[in-house]
Amino acid sequence: MALLRGLKDEDWQKPTLARAWRVRDVAAHLLETQLRRLSGHRDGQRLTPDRPLIDFINHLNATWIAVAQRFSPRVIVDLLDVTGHTFAAFIATLPLRERAYIPVSWAGENESENWMDIGREYTEWWHHQMQIRDAVGAPLLLETKWLEPLLKISVRAIRTSVPTLLVIDDYRFTFGDGTPAVTIRTDADTAWRMLFNALSREEIAARVMIEGDVAAAEAVVGARSVMV
């Protein structure tokens, strides 16, 4: 909220890593996801997909962004100040080990527990805030207290049977059993951009070091912690 309230008028129109979305569109998207979740999960106002899931989600996002053009940045921020507190309070009531409202499909789960779904929400808020910060030149959320939970949840998108070691600055994640057949090294700024679909394959290749089985590394460099 401090970041958004401190933006200048021209900042709201700046392009972001979310392709066609400007800063104002990313903020409006966060507002809609909170409203949709409160309506569906807390209040039982569920939507029935009328098309394949990815297309359905993209349709919901696009139609909301179109409607949100009617709102000023101040209105968007004021509404986020209400929905953010309300949503966080609701999330805090969920028993962590009970079945989640929706599964975290990008992690390969057909059924999730609440702790994982809450973690997914954290990654959603985190990476969209990073898109805004990147666009306006604000400091990135790469401190340990913000980054560590982000990485621990996000790497669950990586699924491989090949023993693999992923090194992100001082963080090490192992996949599979036995001596790693491939080691992948990168920095935190590259890792989040890669996991959240903000780098091209060429940019990933230039910013990631692969030692060992290059083909097996695709399970890591091709993983995405979002629905794409």
Are residues 119 and 176 located together in one domain of the fold?
A: no
For the entire predicted model, the pTM comes to 0.95
Q: Which pLDDT does position 228 carry in this prediction?
A: 79
At 151 the pLDDT is 98
What CATH number is given to the structural domain containing 202?
Answer: 3.30.1050.10
d(CA 80, CA 71): 12
Q: In what order do the strands lie in the sheet with 182-186?
A: 171-175, 164-168, 182-186, 209-212
Amino acid at 145: K
Pick from 149, 142, 140, 87: nearest CA to 115: 149
| pLDDT one-digit tens code per residue, 74-132 | 999 999 999 999 999 999 999 999 999 999 999 999 999 999 999 999 999 999 999 99
Say whether both 102 and 132 belong to one domain.
yes
pLDDT given at position 46: 87
Radius of gyration (Cα) for the chain, nearest Å?
18
CA distance 159 to 220: 8
Among residues 113, 141, 169, the one where a domain terminates is: 141
pLDDT digit string (tens) for 39-50?
999 999 988 999
Q: Which domain holds residue 161?
A: 156-221
CATH of the domain at 127: 1.20.120
What residue has token string 């990147």?
A: 134
Identify whether the C-beta of residue 191 lies closer than 8 Å to the C-beta of residue 209.
no
pLDDT tens digits for 126-183? Answer: 999 999 999 999 999 999 999 999 999 999 999 999 999 999 999 999 999 999 999 9
Q: What is the DSSP letter of 103?
A: -
Of 196, 193, 148, 2, the residue nearest 84 (C-alpha): 2
Whether 51 shows a pLDDT value over 90: the answer reads yes
